[in-house]
Amino acid sequence: MRLLLDENISPALVGRLADVGVYAQSVPHVGLAGRADHAVWKYALDHDFAVLTINARDFIELLDVAVHPGLIVLRESGLSRDEQWDRIKPVVEHVKDSGDQDFLVNKLIEIAGTGQFEVREIPQP
């Protein structure tokens, strides 16, 4: 699993993700701070990163491609770093427990709260 954390996700989570065996980068750390969502999405596609964001509407619109590395959306804003982690960690565990290294391919995971998330396939097969 490779995650690109959008600007609205704490960059400190890169370290927490590494601690649980997930490679992650943060948008500011890869030189994309302040760039448009489509530029972030292109970078994610080009470098095989699933995107983790709070910006649901814009990124969900960008899922209009045949194959994408995945999108994880937090449906709550204004969360602290620890609150973000409390919501993201169960999703990471779910993906890792699947045993499928391509689990996120063409998937949208929407996180509504701690331990509350829905996985959908987009585009539909």
Residue by residue, pLDDT tens for the chain (125 residues) are 999 999 999 999 999 999 999 999 999 999 999 999 999 999 999 999 999 999 888 888 888 888 999 999 999 989 999 999 999 999 999 999 999 999 999 999 999 999 999 999 987 65
Would you state the CATH architecture of domain 2-121? 3-Layer(aba) Sandwich (3.40)
Whose structure tokens read 């998330």?
117
Round to whole Å and give the CA distance between 24 and 34.
19
Whose structure tokens read 């609150």?
83
CB under 8 A, 24+ apart: contacts of 93-101:
93/20, 94/119, 95/1, 96/1, 96/20, 96/21, 96/22, 101/1
pTM, two decimals, is: 0.94
